[in-house]
A and B are shown apart, each in its own frame.
Chain A
Amino acid sequence: MKARRLLALVRKESLQIVRDPSSILIAFVLPTILLFLFAYAVSLDVQNVRLGVVLESDGAAARELAADFAATRYFEVLPVRDRREVEDLLVAQKLRALVVIPQDFDRRLAAGSRPAVQVLTDGSQPNTASFVAGYAEGVVATWFESRKHERTHEGVGLGPNGGGPAVVLEPRFWFNPEVESRRFLVPGSIAIIMTTIGTLLTALVVAREWERGTMEALFSTPSGILEILLGKLLPYFALGLVATLGCGLLAVTVFDVPLRGSWGALLALSATFLVPALGQGLLISALARNQFIAAQVAVFSGFLPAFLLSGFLFEIESMPPAIRALTYLIPARYFVTGLQTVFAAGDVWAQLGPNMLAMLAVGAGFFAVTARKTRKSLDR
């Protein structure tokens, strides 16, 4: 292998990258848009839930409870008197939930029998529905507790444990005390961006060379197959690292996601991920040899798994066992874990190390299969 030939090939590829606007689009414009969306748009933090509060009773206690619902910051409350007014809105998704305080609320409260509060949710959005149900239960409980305290101070005894024995749980969120979803979504999105550059872009580029016939032209040169492949992959490797740096800088400076680990660890992690990512792109292009098919396969076997199966948005532990097993083969899974650690926790090598090894192992697998499928010849 000659360094001069390799350098010439790398230079040719780099020029092609720089001259093609779509590479710039994928490496810099799309990541910026994605990071922006993950920081501000895609949020798992529930807010502005449109809640209808149906106040069927005129009593003071009922009105107090309704007011408590209106005062919370998670809900946008629509107060009504009659439930029939809002049931249609729930079906049409103009409201996500209804709270019904029935007519006999105050009466039952005074008589000592349990009044009932009905919560109807839009179950077609399970995450919001379960949050609303849990939160509504909390509002009712809190309202009742504060009422009990008031009564106790007024001298109306309500039992020996007005102040408790009670188990109180104090949650503390390490690494993300404000519990903002962007603290883990933004680092995780870097994995998606690297998959796009490493797998999709590379698959397209090499498939194009096969399709146009320039791959055969390259084979007819004195360059060995190793030089040709390295000449193709190294510039995209560098592009990926530059993109990582760019994303990291954006995350830290613009999107208020601190990097608690070191830049070195972040780049090392990214470099390790680019090995299986590029390997997968190369394998896809070697098998497809056609840009249309390469694109389809890259999106369906690279991008979608990185998005849906890497633990970035959906918890791996909650998936069925067969799919959990499948995620061990997906390099993005290890990358997402590493990224979240490097950004939120720091250089925890006890966790980063094994993840990096796993990525290298998967990468070695991809390259091995590619090597068997590609020989420097024109036979298919």
Chain B
Amino acid sequence: MNLHRLSALIVKELLSYLRDPKSRMTLIGPPIMQLLVFSFAATLEVKNVDVALFDRDHGAWSEELTARIRASSFVDDLLPVDGPEELQELIDTGQVLMAVELPDDFSRNLIAGRPATAQVIVDGRRANAGQIAARYLSDIAAEMNRDLTFELGTIRGAPASGGGVPPPEVVVRHWFNPNLVYRWFIVPGLVGILAMLLALLVTGLSIARERELGTFDQLLVSPVTPFEIVVGKTVPALIVGTVMGNVMILAGVFALRVPFTGSLWMLELSLVLFIFSVVGIGLMLSSICKTQQQAILGVFSIMVPVILISGFATPLENMPTWLQLVAQASPLKHFLIIVQGTFLRAQPAMDVLANAWPLVVIAACTLILANLIVQRRLQ
């Protein structure tokens, strides 16, 4: 392996990315913009909910429940309706996420000491937000029940606690993210995804583009060996991917204020290994494809399922077991644990390495395969 030839190839490749101003811009601009926009957009919290209210009772306790719902932080607008058709229309057209229907004996039941049932109708098309909102509502109901026990107990002349044992207190503490700020969860994940996207697009095109433009054959007839070609394409992509990854980590810590509790060196090492494995996949694909379009679409077709099964938005344990096994082949899955761990969980070095060694395996396998395919092309 001739280092002189190799460095020439690397410089050539870097120049091809960075010389064209449009190309420079698309390498740097979109990932940062996406990080900033999507980290605020991607949230599984539920806020600004519109609720319809069908109150058949208009008694003291239905007014009380209504007031509590209106006052809660996740509700934006409480829209009163006069009949079931209006309620149906509001839900059908998506103007409200859910509706509360109070029967005409609601307050009467409560005063008499009986349970009173209210219907909560949720738009199942937005079932995830609906479930969370329904949970918030049941929290409101539980609080009202606690206050009811006190008020109605004293109204009926019995001692407030009724002489009974209060229920056990459940003390909840959320480790690593006490206020459950969604951004703290999303940003590390986005760093991984956007770095992967960039590295994949760049490497996926590298060989296929040269083939389409005819310059790959020129490379093959030059003294350069297949191994040098592969390394010559790996190193520039590694540089670009790692630099952009670091830019995004900095943006995450300083612009988006996500805490960083772990070891930066461990994260850097893992980032390099991650980009390595991603570049390996991209090059392997690129060496198979004959045109840029095939390479881009091929990269895309692999990337989207990989992102989906890697646990970015939905945790791995929600998936069937066999799919979790398949996910082990996704470098993003391992890197996500590391990046979230070093950001939020002060992940110890042993844990980082335990999650990093699969990246080495993936990188090794894909780069060897890429090498073999390019060698075959030479014959």
A interface vs B, CB < 8 Å?
Answer: 20-23, 25-26, 29-30, 33-34, 37-38, 40-50, 90-93, 96, 105, 109, 112, 114-130, 133-134, 136-137, 140-141, 144, 148, 157-161, 163-177, 179-181, 183-184, 192, 196, 200-201, 204-205, 208, 288, 290-293, 295-297, 299-301, 303-304, 308-309, 313-315, 317-320, 322-323, 326, 337, 340-341, 344-345, 348, 350-351
Contact = CB atoms under 8 A, between A and B. Distances in A.
A142 B309 CA distance: 35
A92 B127 contact: no
Given A160-B153, A292-B205, A173 B124 contact: yes
A151 B137 CA distance: 29
Given A30-B304, A126-B181, A161-B153, A121 B174 contact: yes
Given A126-B185, A167-B110, A179-B127, A351 B171 contact: no
Of B42, B120, B124, chain A has the most CB atoms within 10 Å of the CB of: B124
Interface in B322-371: 323, 337, 340-341, 344-348, 351
A167 B65 contact: yes
B162 A313 contact: no
Given A309-B41, A315-B44, 8 more contacts: A25-B297, A43-B318, A126-B45, A159-B162, A160-B153, A176-B125, A204-B297, A350-B89
Contacts of A173: 122-124, 127, 130
Contacts of A293: 22-23, 26
B89 A42 contact: no
B215 interface: no
Given A126-B185, A128-B315, A25 B153 contact: no
A231 to B, nearest CB: 18
B84 interface: no
Between B30, B126, B177, B294, the greatest number of chain A beta carbons within 10 A of the residue's beta carbon is seen for B126
B43 interface: yes
A318 B45 contact: yes
Contact of A299 (B145, B201, B298): B201
A159 B164 contact: yes
Contact of A318 (B46, B127, B138): B46
Q: Which of A25, A157, A314 has the most CB of B within 10 A?
A: A314
Given A165-B116, A167-B118, A350-B93, A308 B38 contact: yes
A120 B173 contact: yes
Contact of B168 (A37, A117, A123): A117
Interface in B149-186: 149, 152-153, 156, 158, 161-178, 180-182, 184-185
A49 B145 CA distance: 29
16 contacts: A25-B297, A42-B314, A49-B317, A119-B170, A121-B175, A133-B174, A158-B165, A161-B153, A165-B145, A166-B148, A171-B134, A173-B123, A201-B297, A299-B300, A314-B41, A345-B92
B168 A44 contact: no
A41 B26 contact: no
Given A160-B158, A318-B45, A123 B317 contact: no
B318 A50 contact: no
Interface string B10-46: 0000000000001100110011011001101111111
B272 interface: no
A41 to B, nearest CB: 5
Between A160, A205, A292, A323, the greatest number of chain B beta carbons within 10 A of the residue's beta carbon is seen for A292
B177 A41 contact: no
Contacts, number: 377
B163 A158 contact: yes
B26 A297 contact: yes
A308 B42 contact: yes
A170 B115 contact: no
Given A133-B174, A144-B167, A159-B164, A125 B48 contact: no
Contact of B117 (A118, A168, A326, A337): A168
A348 B89 CA distance: 10
Nearest to B289: A22
B199 interface: no
A336 to B, nearest CB: 10
A319 B41 contact: yes
A117 B134 CA distance: 24
Nearest to A351: B93
Contact of B126 (A141, A184, A288): A184
Interface in B195-214: 197, 201, 205, 209
A196 B129 contact: no
Interface in B65-94: 65, 76, 89, 91-94
Contacts of A319: 40-41, 43
Nearest to B121: A172
B140 to A, nearest CB: 9
A317 B130 contact: no
A49 to B, nearest CB: 6
A129 B180 contact: yes
B173 to A, nearest CB: 5
B292 A291 contact: yes
B320 interface: yes
A301 B132 CA distance: 30
A6 B285 CA distance: 36
Nearest to A188: B125
10 tightest A-B contacts by CB?
A159-B162, A176-B124, A123-B177, A158-B164, A123-B174, A300-B30, A173-B124, A159-B164, A175-B124, A22-B294
Contact of A116 (B65, B163, B169): B169
Nearest to A90: B175
A161 B113 contact: yes
Contacts of B292: 204, 208, 291-292
Given A41-B320, A174-B122, A351-B94, A165 B293 contact: no
A114 B124 contact: no
A161 B162 contact: yes
Contacts of B296: 200, 204, 291, 295
A351 B317 contact: no
B37 A323 contact: yes
B378 interface: no
Contacts of B181: 126
Given A300-B34, A337-B94, A109 B165 contact: yes
